[in-house]
Structure 1
Amino acid sequence: MSKQAKTLTTAELRRVLDYVATRKHSARNRAILLTTHYAGLRVGETASLRFGDVVDAGGNIRNEVHLSAAQTKGGNARTVFINERLRKELEAYIKSYSPTNPLHKLFYSQKKDSDGFTANTMTQFFHYLYRRAGIEGASSHSGRRTFITNLASKGVGVRVLMSLAGHRNISTTQAYIDVNDDMKRRAVELA
């Protein structure tokens, strides 16, 4: 069995965000990173997002993003809910990048005339981002695991987590939850 991606602490996520702030394309990179951490999207789903999937005709960030079957790993369409923190991040990002064609990718790549990131190039992006920020064991799946673990630690039920993650099997979702000492301390206080 392969090793699971690292779940980031708040301090580690801050460290990555601080690193992103010092680099080119910081608004885009921050939005990509936080899309995985605040919405739990897979890297392939994040790479597949089109501008019109996330931004309506009036230039507003949608409350819900509908992923088609072609955009998801399991080939099952699903709805992703955008929380207020992610909405603010995406609003800041689209101030610096707003294509005229809603079919253009939401996240442009280094070659702005290209079709944006692929799942593979975005996976590489995360590999180098975490490595350069000094976060060991983190990968393109870390945002998704962190999202699910954080919600579980706040008491969100596994069935809700399963639906948010787009999993078909509850055991898949359970494998994402990283149990930590804070969760155990809170649990024993309930006894």
Structure 2
Amino acid sequence: MSLIRTKHDVPMKQARVPTEVEFKRLVAVVSQGKYGPRNRMALMLSYFAGLRVGEIASLHWNDLVDGEGKVREQLRLSAAVTKGGHARVVFMNARLRRELEQYLCSLAQPPTLSQSVLITQKRRAFSANTLCQLMRGWYDLAGLGGGSSHSGRRWFITRLAHAGISPKAIMMLAGHRHLSTTQRYIDVNDEMMRAAVEAL
């Protein structure tokens, strides 16, 4: 058997998963400036809902808010906007709902339900690529090399796994079709291993 590894044998480098301290620093950096509320909202949708960047870019207010202006407890992603073309339900926890309420209050005027949640400087909806580039810049500003638009999704899946949530439930929340895909997202670092042995 050959011990020589080809480029096809080398696993792809995965997006960095911030520690708790790094996450707080990232949030502080992202929340600054004129577009701080918008940027913070994008980050929270990534971290606390596990959404892909394309899914975040595609969101309209009627996905997140009902006709009375109340933030929904769950949103439905259509097959048209998900990877693989499979519709799914995304549950929004209390923290994410509070973030959405604060973001709504920060807007100069109430948005229409058909309006995109995230708007560029040119008052247009973000493309997945533009939002991806913007997010990468946040990690650079926070001094978190290796971070990308996929970091929040990996953080979301990792936190669920380390909280003891059923692997099948995590797979469904992530919108994966196979458990092996979900397992590749789970990060293990020294902080987590230390906490694991302290729990014994």
TM range, smaller chain: over 0.9
Q: Give the letter for the 1:57 counterpart.
A: G
Per-residue CA deviations over 1:162-181 (Å, capped at 9, x if unaligned) read: 00000000000000000123
Task: Report the counterpart of residue 184 of structure 1 in structure 2.
Answer: 193
Q: Give the letter for the 1:109 counterpart.
A: T
| Residue among 172, 176, 183 paired with 1:174 | 183
| Residue among 130, 135, 143 paired with 1:126 | 135
Count of aligned pairs: 188
Task: Report the counterpart of residue 39 of structure 1 in structure 2.
Answer: 49
Measure the CA separation in 2 of the matches of 1:144 and 1:90.
18
RMSD over aligned CA atoms reads 1.4
Q: SS where residue 71 of structure 2 aligns?
A: coil
TM-score of the two chains, using structure 2 as the length reference: 0.89
Q: Give the letter for the 2:170 counterpart.
A: L
Measure the CA separation in 2 of the matches of 1:41 and 1:63.
15
Query: Are residues 1:135 and 2:144 paired?
Result: yes
Q: SS where residue 71 of structure 1 aligns?
A: coil
Measure the CA separation in 1 of the matches of 2:199 and 2:97.
34
TM-score of the two chains, using structure 1 as the length reference: 0.93
Query: Are residues 1:111 and 2:114 paired?
Result: no
Specify the structure having the higher radius of gyration (Cα). 2
Task: Report the counterpart of residue 67 of structure 2 in structure 1.
Answer: 57
Q: SS where residue 99 of structure 1 aligns?
A: coil
Task: Report the counterpart of residue 111 of structure 2 in structure 1.
Answer: 99
TM-superposed deviation, 1:157 = 1.8
Q: Give the letter for the 2:111 counterpart.
A: P
Per-residue CA deviations over 1:73-99 (Å, capped at 9, x if unaligned) read: 110000000000000111011113332
Q: Give the letter for the 1:148 counterpart.
A: I
Q: Give the letter for the 1:40 counterpart.
A: G
TM-superposed deviation, 1:103 = 1.9
Which sections of structure 1, spanning at least 5 residues, go unmatched? none
Q: SS where residue 145 of structure 1 aligns?
A: helix
Q: SS where residue 90 of structure 2 aligns?
A: strand
Which sections of structure 2, spanning at least 5 residues, go unmatched? 1-10
Task: Report the counterpart of residue 162 of structure 2 in structure 1.
Answer: 153
Quote the sequence identity (%).
51
Per-residue CA deviations over 1:17-72 (Å, capped at 9, x if unaligned) read: 11123222111111110110001000010111111000111111100000000110
Higher mean displacement: 149-158 or 164-173: 149-158
| Residue among 23, 27, 41 paired with 1:17 | 27
TM-superposed deviation, 1:190 = 6.2
Change over 3 Å in CA distance of 1:183–1:19 after alignment to 2: closer
Measure the CA separation in 1 of the matches of 2:66 and 2:87.
19
| Higher fraction of helix | 1
